[in-house]
Amino acid sequence: MRAIWSGAITFGLVNVPVKLYSATEDHDVDLHQVHDADGGRIRYQRRCEVCGKVVEYEDIDKAYADDEQTIVLTKKDLESIPQEHDRDITVVEFVPSDQLDPLLFDRSYYLEPAGKNAKAYVLLRRTLEKTDRTAVVHFALRQKTRLAALRVRGDALLLQTLLWPDEIREPEFPALDENPRISAKEMQLSAALVESFSEDFDPSAFHDDYQEQLRTLIEAKRRAGDSLDTEETFGREESGGGQVIDLMEALKQSVERSRARKKGGAGKAEPADKPTSGKTGTAKKAGTAKKAGTAKTGTAKKSSGTRKKSPAKKAASQKTASQKTPARKGA
């Protein structure tokens, strides 16, 4: 495990140096979205709904919105609020452990003794065990003040962040206002049913069947060869305009088109320099076509997503145009 915070537990004149570690982890298989046609990964963009542009993370501010107004909070605004950087876990009071509603518990963290001598840490742990008390504490984590419960778990001290009182909802259900009559016989049968299911709680007896079956399915598909090369599922980077660009492919196409233009230009020079009476329009059209081809090539340089005729086909069509023009002149 890697420590995510270090500080000290303080109460009175007692100071207990500790390191903070996350006590839990997610065991779910990490899945991501892909295109069903080719397995390519699906990405999400931060796109502005007003201008339609993709916005870089450094250009994003936060905001509060209600039904009528949106209040934008800039980075400077947020920096003006005092942030907690205290490294102390300050004990506010010691309370009977059974007075803490489990609904209040949020995230759990282990505390490791950080000093050279763990005597103060062990003394605090044993005191909490003997008195059956839990310490209610304040501490700062990620610039926010937290309310937490400090209690014992095995040989370690456990810190559990608590929800604030206004974060707990009350169960306001109309059906609970009714008071249905329950007979003694119904209570007796219900108690007997509970007794038939009664056991001592053993967490290791429970398993996440769905995740286990999901892992089995993944391994079966892997063994069957039903998989893709992970690198092939990653797309190419996007430009600001949202079009996919492969730099090497763009350079290659630019060189090929440049060579094709040179060859095509040489083939069209002779008929363009010798226009005949009544056929000037043909020469002009050829010149216009050449300019249009140049304009399209410029667009192709900007984005390899725009498909153009291959250089070979383009050169062939230019050569054909050069051959037909003299024939018309002779006619």
* pLDDT number for residue 166: 92
* pLDDT number for residue 9: 92
Mean pLDDT of 50-67: 91
Q: Is residue 182 part of a domain?
A: no
Q: Is residue 20 part of a domain?
A: yes
Task: State the amino acid at position 215 in one-letter form.
Answer: R
* pLDDT number for residue 320: 45
| Cβ partners under 8 Å of residue 246, min gap 6 | 236, 304
Using alpha carbons, select from 300, 294, 286, 266 the residue that is nearest to residue 329.
286
Q: Is residue 143 part of a domain?
A: yes
Q: Is residue 71 classed as helix, strand or coil in its secondary structure?
A: strand
Q: Is residue 115 part of a domain?
A: yes
Cβ-based neighbour number of residue 320 at 10 Å: 11
For 83, 110, 150, 241, the CA distances from 161, given in Å and listed in that order, are 18, 11, 9, 45
Mean pLDDT of 131-140: 94
Mean pLDDT of 80-99: 85
Distance CA 24, CA 107 (A): 8
**3-state secondary structure string, 148-216?**
EEEEEECCEEEEEEECCHHHCCCCCCHHHHCCCCCCHHHHHHHHHHHHHCCCCCCHHHCCCHHHHHHHH
* pLDDT number for residue 308: 44
- How many domains, the chain? 1
- The yes-or-no verdict on residue 235 having pLDDT over 70 is yes
The beta-carbon contacts of 250-257 under 8 Å, at least 24 apart in sequence, are 250/301, 250/304, 253/300, 253/301, 253/304, 254/300, 254/301, 256/311, 257/297, 257/300, 257/308, 257/311, 257/314
Residue 284's pLDDT band, with cuts at 50, 70 and 90, is: very low
| Cβ partners under 8 Å of residue 236, min gap 6 | 244, 245, 246
Q: Is residue 10 part of a domain?
A: yes
**Of 12-21, 128-137, 261-270, 321-330, which gets the smallest average pLDDT?**
321-330
- The yes-or-no verdict on residue 322 having pLDDT over 50 is no
Q: Is residue 87 part of a domain?
A: yes
Q: Is residue 217 part of a domain?
A: no
Q: What is the CATH number of the domain that holds 112?
A: 2.40.290.10
Q: Is residue 172 part of a domain?
A: no
Comparing 6 with 329, the larger pLDDT belongs to 6
Q: In terms of residue numbers, what domain contains 134?
A: 3-26+82-167
